[in-house]
Chains A and B, each alone.
Chain A
């Protein structure tokens, strides 16, 4: 924590010298939805593209070291004192950041703790060190106020019925809207570690860790860059007759391409889910080699009970159906949505082992399992 403060102070002194330009931008290699700029008195963080169709909407945060004067020019940003010592989380995905930065001490509140797969967090929720934020149905703003958070991380969907940030802003709470889930590249989502780290004053640790993640990811990707064949891949499963397939520019599509696979809907231009007819997916993907993430099914029997027509896919016949449910826990929690987001290199290794087992002969699956 002290290093973080010193780090910010160091930037502050550099920024104060008249020769230096007004702002110094921290280079982010993959994340597109946030930027970090070092100003004279504070660090300015801008979050863009917070939800689908949010247009030019931005959220800005001025991170100023504790105890200093309020920066004179906040440029409309919300002032947050760093390092944050009382952090509340509306989503469990950031728990992997706390784990990686060893910053459990700053966590005071967590919504939906039943979805947390992080063991230390679960222990802290049970012992009462971390309070549950009642957020089922309606958010209980009062109990959140009692937590006296210095920052509350939440993502938003642009839907007033589900978004909590307007409510929290009205209650004058230090809400921080993130856009991690909107990143298209797996490393982009991982790089949000630097975002959390800026609030916790742990930038150096975050930079070092992200570097090792990135290196490993790129190493794996180059391993699968020129495979002899590119197996075709389909993803997801229909619900109520509608098959939401990942778009051709989505996170999943990106991961499949990086693992040396050919995604059947790679010609699609969107980055979210695309609703398709069951039969049109069947038409395109009947002969696909690999089928990923078939809903909640963990065995072939479960899969075929959902719909016997699934047996018609070549992937089902050839035993090429894999789900990321190996670390699935009760209550629907799954480590792939926490640790797996921070560590795309582990997910990529799993995918490469699925698509090109010869490239990683002794691989032990972390998140994926083959449906038997």
Chain B
């Protein structure tokens, strides 16, 4: 590119642009610094660069959000402890069952054929695998005393341990977009007003049959908002979290997220 300025001895435009970046030759530099036309051109180029740079400033809390995302990611990828690995869990269950069966046999052997109370106390959820002293699969009576007593404690229900707390839940990322079908566009604002503070949402676009709203709230608040919109009877046409009735799938971090909802009226006006 050689088009340029109003003086024929001025350097090509590429060189003047490079001067702005400190990448020009000494000859170009000495000319530009003493040339009014080049200086005017530089001024306009600086204005362009300044406008672009200023407009692309990141949000103030960007670093915190990044660190939270990294922390979350590393938490999800932490190695599962050996007792949490599926195969080992099955193996452990088998060993426990075998040990339990052996213990039951031993207990039966010791207590003979008595139908009395000497027996086994089995916690809820374990009875199905246990042969009771009375020969049935039903508890034979009150818990017995000391020596002959085998106690089985209830195991944790699946999904409630530490593993379940980290798998299956996700942190909401920013920039979630949902499409909602609503009976009428006029009914959207009143519902949002009842759920959000005025500073939390803006109408980005509105027409007779559609409306785009941007919301900035904490992830937990957003889950509640989605739930209440769903409870209002609106239909959600997006699979991304947060979803109504699925709060358990979201790991709430308390950070604010951007949410865009596009509302479309259900019926076409005649």
A and B are partners in one complex rather than unrelated chains:
no
